[in-house]
Amino acid sequence: MHCTRKVNEDITWVGGNDRRLAMFEGVYSVPDGVSYNSYLLTDEKTVLFDTVDKAVGKVFFENVAHALNGRKLDYVVVQHMEPDHSATLADLLARYPEAKVVCGKKAAEMIGQFFGAEIGERARVVAEGDTLSAGKHELLFLAAPMVHWPEVMVTFDKTDRILFSADAFGTFGALNGALFADEVDFYGDYLSEARRYYANIIGKYGQQVQSLLKKMLALDIAMICPLHKFVHRKDFGGYLEKYRRWSAYLPEETGVMIAYASIYGNTGNAAEILACRLRDAGVRTQMFDVSVTPDSEIVAAAFRFSHLVFAGPTYNAGVFVTMDALLRDIAAHNLQNRTVAFIENGSWAPVSGKLMREILAPLKNLTFLDASVTIRSSLKEGQTAELDALCGAILATIERPAAAEVPAGEVDPAALFTLSYGLFVLTAKDGERDNGCIVNTVTQITNTPKRISVAVNKQNLTHDMILKTGVFNVSVLTEEAKFSVFERFGLQSGKTADKFAGFESAARSANGLYYVTEGVNALLSCKVISATDYGSHTLFVADLTEAKKLSAAPSVTYEYYRKNIKPKPNPEQVKRKKGWICTVCGYIYEGDVLPPDFICPVCKHGVEAFVRLE
Ligand code: FEO
């Protein structure tokens, strides 16, 4: 029985899903299967965009017949000749002998190679900029060589502004009923498989992907229909931005990917210790045992992170087999612009560090750190300094360079009070424990995707919870918020008090976290996509998973709070004291000189929040 979905009024998805395939292309694990997309346009003419892998041929032919609804097939556009999209082409042409094949010159040659010259000669060859009218729909053909094979072209439906993008913008995984990316949490739940697909399938061809992206700029694209997984019809700017970064080999995130091979656990032990030290320094890490995790996942992580550490034993006077294979895979995918370090092990003649470096040496713009660690069988307590040096070398490249050449003027902290900060209750949950704090640093970054940032003081318990769980809520406070809310969430520490004890103005959002229900006008639920260490604070960048308006009351600004909500300090008491007053909570530091690293013991704001008592 057929299984189709409408893409729009004139276009139907007629592809199929394969969940029995273990290894895509025989090399990439696909635990969630894979979809082979094919699309049928029914206009005055009928046009099929690509066919499918033979594994789903039966349902595909039922789908095509159903979508044609008794009509003949006029054209089949062959955009890509890899058999996952063309294995059923000869069968299709046998079933629909009147159908004309539309493809590029190279594809016509490949059709001959795969199916015999007779079928190859049936092709109507099109080139860059050629068009085909299907009636209401005019189709424009654009070459996309090496995205992923040399014959690839993409097709732009100028009428509905749909790009049939071949392999580009595909994702691993079978469709689970949802054809459109906006039917799921694409950025939260599927971006990792989109990245793994990109890095492994077309990651080697960044320059060619950039050429395609450049062509796409000239098109006003409303929808992208790839040959694998989701159709993108809303908010795909974030995905395009990922493609820009991936194809330019720019890391998505500052952080360290640590991949280790370990025969008896000793090399792994060193890698674990390094990861702990980097985390202590607030650096994001992701670890892999290369003998356990498929290379495709590690290659994808290498495309994601800015820093790569490879830890591997010497084996047969070379690099341990699984590490050797991984490094050659990364080299084959042309990764660039990364900072790289090594940990080597060898019980009698350690050489793996040098050899691992040699494998990656041909890649462009890799910075190899001189600091490295050599293990003789197992790491010793006496090697702490070596590991510290490696950790320090990594941290030195993560910290922003000082702007030494910029002439320094006077920095007046009061100038910062001119910024119109809002005030928010930031909440998080770790296990059964809820906590929240007041912040003034929530800012929207992008609209597509809906993405915000928030800087959180590391001394706050909420900070640690967000770092651990990657999830938080923002309750946007209004001018109607009571001072008691600021007292509850801003003037006591979650480390010593349960801030939600006896608090009735709270409810749980879809993510299970609390948000404040009174004196607020909006809830933003967020999932962290990056965490960057800025000394006293961590800057979290996060995508919205839920957002709703709760009232029409105006949002409170920090200025409004100071003038109208915060009780004024007792003037007589203040007059008697000398020193500095925290403008956030009124705490007074008595002394002539405010230490530059002073943190308000009550509200945890730094020296920038203090003004001298006159
Ligand atoms: Fe999905 Fe390059 O084939």
Q: What is the mean pLDDT of each run of 10 residues along the chain (614 residues)?
A: 97 98 95 98 98 98 98 98 98 96 97 90 93 98 97 98 98 97 95 98 96 92 97 92 94 95 97 96 96 97 97 97 98 97 97 98 95 94 92 85 62 75 95 93 91 91 90 96 91 83 93 96 93 83 94 92 81 73 76 80 73 77
**From the CA of 50, how far away is ligand 1's center (Å)?**
11
End-to-end Cα spacing for the chain: 83
**From the CA of 77, how far away is ligand 1's center (Å)?**
15
Please, are residues 219 and 162 in contact by the beta-carbon 8 Å criterion?
Answer: no
Looking at the CA of residue 227, tell me the nearest atom of ligand 1: 1
**From the CA of 450, how far away is ligand 1's center (Å)?**
31
Residue 581: the pLDDT is 81
**From the CA of 78, how far away is ligand 1's center (Å)?**
12
Residue nearest to atom 3 of ligand 1 (CA): 82
**From the CA of 109, how far away is ligand 1's center (Å)?**
17
- Tokens 């990109």 — which residue? 198
Residue nearest to atom 1 of ligand 1 (CA): 167
Residue 2: the pLDDT is 97
**From the CA of 89, how far away is ligand 1's center (Å)?**
15
- Tokens 């635990």 — which residue? 31
**From the CA of 75, how far away is ligand 1's center (Å)?**
21
Looking at the CA of residue 152, tell me the nearest atom of ligand 1: 2
List the Cα angle 289/294/298 in 5-degree steps. Answer: 70
Residue 317: which residues within 8 A CB-CB, separation 6 or more?
Answer: 349, 351
Looking at the CA of residue 25, tell me the nearest atom of ligand 1: 3
Looking at the CA of residue 202, tell me the nearest atom of ligand 1: 2
The residue ranges of DSSP E strands in 316-354, in sequence order, are 318-319, 338-345
Residues with CB under 6 A from ligand 1: 80, 82, 84-85, 148-149, 167, 227-228
Q: Which amino acid is at 392?
A: G
**From the CA of 375, how far away is ligand 1's center (Å)?**
43
How many Å apart are CA 238 and CA 230, to the nearest integer? 15
Residue 19: the pLDDT is 97
Residue 401: the pLDDT is 44
Residue 481: the pLDDT is 95
How many Å apart are CA 125 and CA 104, to the nearest integer? 5
Looking at the CA of residue 166, tell me the nearest atom of ligand 1: 1
How far is C-alpha 165 from the geometric centre of its chain's CA atoms? 21
Q: Which amino acid is at 26?
A: G
Residue 330: which residues within 8 A CB-CB, separation 6 or more?
Answer: 298, 299, 302, 360, 363
Looking at the CA of residue 228, tell me the nearest atom of ligand 1: 1
**From the CA of 499, how far away is ligand 1's center (Å)?**
53
CA dihedral 135, 141, 147, 149 (to 10 degrees): 100
The H or E element containing residue 224 is strand 223-225
Looking at the CA of residue 167, tell me the nearest atom of ligand 1: 1
Q: How many residues does the structure list for the chain? A: 614
**From the CA of 230, how far away is ligand 1's center (Å)?**
15
Looking at the CA of residue 148, tell me the nearest atom of ligand 1: 2
How many Å apart are CA 612 and CA 596, to the nearest integer? 14
How many Å apart are CA 84 and CA 564, to the nearest integer? 66
How many Å apart are CA 15 and CA 129, to the nearest integer? 27
The H or E element containing residue 544 is strand 537-549
Residue 614: the pLDDT is 67
- Tokens 């349960």 — which residue? 498
List the Cα angle 96/97/99 in 5-degree steps. Answer: 70
Q: 295-304 and 321-332 are packed helices; what angle lies between their axes, rounded to 10 degrees?
A: 50
**From the CA of 228, how far away is ligand 1's center (Å)?**
8
**From the CA of 292, how far away is ligand 1's center (Å)?**
26
**From the CA of 25, how far away is ligand 1's center (Å)?**
9
**From the CA of 215, how far away is ligand 1's center (Å)?**
20
CA distances from 304 to 3, 71, 287, 337, 393 (A): 36, 47, 13, 11, 20
Task: Please indicate, yes or no, whether the overall pTM of this predicted structure exceeds 0.75.
Answer: no
CA distances from 349 to 313, 324, 375, 415, 604 (A): 10, 17, 10, 61, 53
